[in-house]
Amino acid sequence: MLSRGSDVIMSAAVIVKFSELVRLLEHNGFKLVKEKGSVRYYAREGWEKLIRIDFHGSKEVPKGTCNAILKGAGLRGADEER
């Protein structure tokens, strides 16, 4: 993990579990706003997009899914190396 000001961001090579990804979002100010079954939506004040996570607890998040969630949450830039 890398730190950027008060935000914590993930490097692209790290394998994370869904529970760790949710903890990362919550650490960066995102709050659970809606839940239906295993689908959770997170929002942060000042951030217009909802972040959708199909939560599966201790399962590993696929690399592409993780990158898309982090990019959508503004925790990984589009210009970062893959």
- Give the total number of structural domains in the chain: 1
The yes-or-no verdict on residue 17 having pLDDT over 70 is: yes
Residue 77 forms part of a structural domain: no
Higher pLDDT: 12 or 40? It is 40
Residue 36 forms part of a structural domain: yes
One-letter amino acid of 40: R
Residue 28 forms part of a structural domain: yes
Q: Please answer whether residues 8 and 24 qualify as being in contact, where contact means their C-beta atoms are separated by less than 8 angstroms.
A: yes
pTM: 0.76
Residues 34-73: tens digit of each pLDDT = 999 999 999 999 999 999 999 998 999 999 999 999 999 9
- Average pLDDT of span 14-35: 94
Residue 13: pLDDT band (50, 70, 90) is low
Question: Structural domain of residue 67, as residue ranges?
Answer: 2-72
CATH number at residue 18: 3.30.920.30
The yes-or-no verdict on residue 78 having pLDDT over 60 is: no
